[in-house]
C-alpha cells in the first residue's frame, strides 16, 4: 500500500469519526439514542484503520510500535474496536458513545498532524513481550475509556434534565455496576501490561525497572487504579458521583501517561545507537 | 496486640501507603538528591499493613482471589527486596582477542548480600558484528565470546539484543556501546615489553571524534587519534560494523599537535620507549548482572494477576445464584464492592 493511499484512509477515518461525533451530539440534543448509526460508523472506522495498519505493516515490515503516528493510528483502531465489543456485550455501555466519539476524533486530528515517516524497530526491541505489553496496554486503555465514558454519562445524567440518557434511566444500577466491571478489567490489563513491559525492558535494555518518566507515571496510574478500587471498598458510603469523577480522573492520568509522557521525556521507548 | 494488629490492618492506612508511594515515586524519580530509595518507606508500610490484614481478617482470607492477589503482592515485594539485596550490575569493555578481567569491571549496583564471584568468570572476546540500516539505524548486535562453564567446559556463544550468556549465575549481555581499538606494543628503553589495547570512543556514535588519551608505561600522556582511510559506513545503505582489516593510521601527539603518525606495524619513539601499532580491533561493552530472584519476581507478579482475575471472575462473571458466589457480610472489608 502506498503512503498516499494510507493517508487517504486516515482522512476517511477522521471524517467518519467527525460524523460519529455529530450523530452523537445531535442524538443527545434530541434526546434520542443514536447508537446504531454510531456503531456502523465505528465499524467502518475500525475497518479503514485496520486496512491502513495492515498496509503500512506490509510496506514497512514491522508493526506500529515506534512513532507517535503509529501509536495514535493503532490506538484509534483498538479503542474503536474495543468500544464496539464492549457495547455489544454490555448494552448500557453504549450510553458513553457521545464521549468516545469526540475523544477518538481528537486522536485522529492529532494523528493527521503527525509525521508518517517510519522509524525502524531496533533488533533489541523485537521480542514477543513487546506484543504482550502493547496489546495489554491497548486493552487496558479501551476498557478504561469505556468505563470513563459511562461514568461521564452518569455524571451528566445527574446534571441535565431527565430523558437525555434513556438507556441509563432504564437501568441505573446496571450502569453503575458496569462502570466498575470495566474499571476492574482495566486494572487487570494494566497490571499485566506492567509485568510484560518489565520483562520486555529487561531484554531490550537490560533492566526491568529504571524509574524513567514513563515507568514512574505508569506505576502512579496503577496505584491510582488500585487505590480507587480500594477506596470504594474502604468508604462504603462514597457518593456515586465522586466515584465517577475519580474514574474520569484516573482515565485522564492514564491518557496523559500513554500519549504525553513517552514523547516529553528522554524517549524511553526509542532505540539507542 | 490484637487492637494494634487491627489498626495496622486498616484499609485507610493502605490508601495512605499507596498515595505516599505514588508521591514519593514521582518526587524521587525527578530529584536525584532524594532518589527513588525513599519509596522503601511506603512499601514497608504497605507490607506491614497487608501482613496485618492477612493475620487479623478472617473474611479477607476466605476470598481466594483476593488472598492470592495480596499474597502475590507480598511475594513481589519480597522478591524486589531480595533482588536489591543480592543483585549485582556492572559494566566492562572487552577488546577482540582479550580476556575478561574482573578488576576492569565498573560496578553500577551491588546489593549488600551479594557474594562477589566475578573473579571466577572466564571468557574472552571473539568477533563483533553489528548490522545497521541506512541512517545509522542499528538492526542487530552480534558479539561472540568463548567462555568456561561452571563444569569446566569451553563453549562459544553469541550475545546481543535479547541474547545473553549465563556464566556461573552472572548474565553477560553485549550492549549497544562498542567501537574500535588499537593494539599497541610498548618497548621501554631498558628493553621491557608490554602489549595492550587503547579503546577509542563509541562507534558510530562518535565517528567524528575518534580521539582518546593514553598514558605510556613511562608516564607520558599522549593523545591518540584514529584515522580510518576508508569509509566504514554509508548513511544511504545497510552496512556492518566489525571489519578490522581496514587501512588506518594513528596520529600520536600532545593536546592536538600530532608529533607522529603510525600505520599498522610502524613504530614511534616516545619518552622512555617506543610504541608499535600492532593492529586494529573492535571493543564491546558488556553488562554483567546477577539477579537470581528476577524469575521469581515474575512468577509472583503473575500470581498476583491470576488472583485478580479469580476475584473478578467470582464477583462479576459467575451468575448471582452460583454456589461459588462469596457469601460476605456487608461490614466485611476488602470485599463487597471492589
The total of other beta-carbon atoms located within 10 Å of residue A115's CB is 9
Residue-wise pLDDT tens digits, B133-183: 888 888 889 999 999 998 889 999 999 877 889 999 999 999 989 999 999
CB contact under 8 A, B305 and A202: no
**Closest approach of chain A CAs to the CA of B222, in angstroms?**
29
Q: Locate the chain A residue with the closest alpha carbon to B142.
A: A123
Q: Is some CB atom of chain A closer than 8 A to the CB atom of B173?
A: yes
Q: In whole angstroms, what is the distance from residue B30 CA to residue A64 CA?
A: 30
The predicted model gives A215-226 an average pLDDT of 94
What is the pLDDT at residue A264? 57
Band the pLDDT of A267: cuts 50, 70, 90.
Answer: very low
The predicted model gives A135-160 an average pLDDT of: 92
Judged by CB atoms within 8 Å, which residues 228-287 of B form the interface with A? Answer: 287
The confidence band for A173, taking pLDDT boundaries of 50, 70 and 90, is confident
Model pLDDT, residue A167: 74
Q: How confident is the model at residue A273 (pLDDT cuts 50, 70, 90)?
A: very low
Please tell me the distance from the alpha carbon of residue B60 to that of residue B153, in angstroms, as a whole number: 52
Domains in chain A with CATH codes: 1-116 (1.20.120), 124-273 (no CATH)
Q: How far is B306 from chain A (nearest CA, A)?
A: 9
Which pLDDT score is estimated for B35? 76
* From A13-22, A46-55, A150-159, A214-223, the region with the lowest mean pLDDT: A150-159
Q: Which residue of B has its CA nearest to A198?
A: B298
The beta-carbon neighbor of A233 closest among B36, B287, B334 is B334
Q: Do A233 and B338 touch (CB under 8 A)?
A: yes
pLDDT confidence of residue B256:
60
Look at residue A162 in the predicted model and tell me its pLDDT: 66
Stretch A80-98: mean pLDDT: 93
Nearest CA in chain A to B304: A191
Q: For an interface test with A, which of B162, B165, B179, B307 has the most A Cβ atoms less than 10 Å from its Cβ?
A: B162
**Beta bridge pairs of residue B163:** B160
Nearest CA-CA partner of A104 in A30, A154, A48: A48
DSSP state of B313: I
Domain locations in chain B as residue ranges? 2-87+292-317, 88-177, 179-282
A-B CB pairs within 8 A amount to 116
Q: Look at residue A171 in the predicted model and tell me its pLDDT.
A: 79
Which of chain A's residues have a Cβ under 8 Å away from the Cβ of B60? none
Phi/psi of residue A6, nearest 5 degrees: -60, -45
Model confidence band, residue A32 (pLDDT cutoffs 50, 70, 90): confident
Q: If you average pLDDT over each of A64-73, A95-104, B247-256, which comes out highest? A: A95-104
pLDDT for B133 equals 86
**Mean pLDDT over each residue of chain A, to the nearest integer:** 88
**pLDDT for res A168:** 73
pLDDT < 70 stretches in chain B: 1, 255-258, 318-338
How far A172 CA sits from the closest chain B CA (Å)?
16
To the nearest whole angstrom, how far is the Cα of A23 from the nearest Cα of chain B?
A: 32
Q: What is the ipTM of this complex?
A: 0.89
Helix/strand/coil for A27 = helix
- CB proximity list for B65: less than 8 A, separation 6 or greater: B307, B308, B309, B310, B311, B312, B313, B314
Amino acid at each position: 500500500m502506498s503512503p498516499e493511499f494510507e493517508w487517504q484512509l486516515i482522512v476517511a477515518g477522521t471524517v467518519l469519526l467527525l460524523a460519529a461525533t455529530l450523530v452523537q451530539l445531535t442524538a443527545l440534543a434530541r434526546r434520542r439514542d443514536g447508537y446504531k448509526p454510531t456503531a456502523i460508523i465505528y465499524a467502518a472506522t475500525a475497518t479503514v484503520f485496520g486496512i491502513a495498519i495492515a498496509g503500512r505493516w506490509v510496506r514497512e515490515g514491522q508493526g506500529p510500535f515506534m512513532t507517535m503516528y503509529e501509536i495514535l493510528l493503532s490506538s484509534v483502531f483498538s479503542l474503536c474496536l474495543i468500544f464496539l465489543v464492549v457495547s455489544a456485550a454490555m448494552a448500557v455501555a453504549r450510553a458513553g458513545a457521545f464521549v468516545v466519539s469526540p475523544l477518538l476524533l481528537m486522536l485522529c486530528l492529532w494523528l493527521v498532524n503527525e509525521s508518517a515517516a517510519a522509524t525502524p524497530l531496533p533488533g533489541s526491541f523485537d521480542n514477543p513481550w513487546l506484543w504482550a505489553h502493547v496489546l495489554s496496554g491497548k486493552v487496558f486503555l479501551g476498557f478504561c475509556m469505556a468505563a470513563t465514558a459511562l461514568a461521564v454519562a452518569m455524571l451528566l445524567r445527574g446534571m441535565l434534565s431527565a430523558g437525555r440518557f434513556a438507556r441509563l434511566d432504564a437501568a441505573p444500577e446496571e450502569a453503575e455496576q458496569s462502570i466498575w466491571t470495566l474499571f476492574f478489567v482495566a486494572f487487570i490489563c494494566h497490571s499485566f501490561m506492567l509485568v510484560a513491559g518489565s520483562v520486555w525492558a529487561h531484554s531490550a535494555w537490560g533492566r526491568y525497572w529504571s524509574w524513567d518518566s514513563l515507568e514512574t507515571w505508569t506505576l502512579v496510574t496503577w496505584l491510582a487504579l488500585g487505590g480507587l478500587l480500594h477506596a470504594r471498598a474502604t468508604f462504603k458510603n462514597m457518593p456515586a458521583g465522586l466515584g465517577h469523577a475519580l474514574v474520569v480522573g484516573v482515565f485522564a492520568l492514564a491518557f496523559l501517561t500513554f500519549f504525553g509522557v513517552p514523547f516529553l521525556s528522554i524517549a524511553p521507548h526509542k532505540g539507542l545507537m | 496486640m490484637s487492637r494494634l494488629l487491627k489498626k495496622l490492618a486498616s484499609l485507610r492506612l493502605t490508601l495512605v501507603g499507596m498515595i505516599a508511594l505514588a508521591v514519593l515515586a514521582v518526587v524521587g524519580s525527578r530529584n536525584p538528591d532524594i532518589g527513588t530509595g525513599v519509596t522503601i518507606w511506603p512499601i514497608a508500610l504497605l507490607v506491614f499493613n497487608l501482613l496485618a490484614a492477612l493475620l487479623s481478617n478472617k473474611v479477607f482470607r476466605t476470598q481466594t482471589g483476593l488472598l492470592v492477589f495480596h499474597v502475590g503482592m507480598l511475594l513481589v515485594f519480597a522478591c524486589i527486596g531480595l533482588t536489591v539485596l543480592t543483585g549485582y550490575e556492572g559494566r566492562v569493555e572487552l577488546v577482540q582477542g582479550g580476556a575478561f578481567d574482573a578488576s576492569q569491571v565498573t560496578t553500577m549496583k551491588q546489593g549488600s548480600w551479594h557474594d562477589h564471584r566475578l573473579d571466577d568468570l572466564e571468557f574472552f572476546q571473539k568477533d563483533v558484528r553489528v548490522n545497521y540500516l541506512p541512517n545509522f539505524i542499528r538492526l542487530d548486535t552480534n558479539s561472540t565470546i568463548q567462555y568456561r562453564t561452571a563444569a569446566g567446559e569451553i563453549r562459544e556463544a553469541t550475545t546481543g539484543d535479547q541474547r545473553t550468556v549465563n556464566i556461573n549465575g552472572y548474565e553477560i549481555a553485549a550492549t549497544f556501546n562498542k567501537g574500535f581499538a588499537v593494539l599497541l606494543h610498548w618497548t621501554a628503553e631498558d628493553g621491557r615489553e608490554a602489549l595492550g589495547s587503547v579503546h577509542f570512543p563509541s562507534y558510530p556514535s562518535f565517528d567524528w571524534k575518534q580521539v582518546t588519551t593514553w598514558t605510556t608505561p613511562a608516564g607520558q600522556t599522549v593523545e591518540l587519534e584514529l584515522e580510518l582511510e576508508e569509509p566504514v559506513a554509508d548513511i544511504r545503505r545497510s552496512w556492518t560494523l566489525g571489519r578490522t582489516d581496514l587501512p588506518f593510521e594513528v596520529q600520536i601527539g600532545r593536546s592536538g599537535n600530532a608529533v607522529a603518525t603510525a600505520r599498522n606495524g610502524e613504530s614511534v619513539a616516545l619518552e622512555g620507549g617506543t610504541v608499535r601499532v600492532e593492529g586494529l580491533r573492535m571493543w564491546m561493552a558488556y553488562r554483567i548482572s546477577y539477579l537470581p530472584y528476577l524469575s521469581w519476581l515474575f512468577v509472583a507478579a503473575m500470581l498476583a494477576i491470576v488472583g485478580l482475575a479469580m476475584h473478578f471472575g467470582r464477583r462479576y462473571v459467575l451468575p448471582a445464584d452460583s454456589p461459588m458466589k462469596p457469601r460476605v457480610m456487608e461490614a466485611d472489608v476488602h470485599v463487597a464492592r471492589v
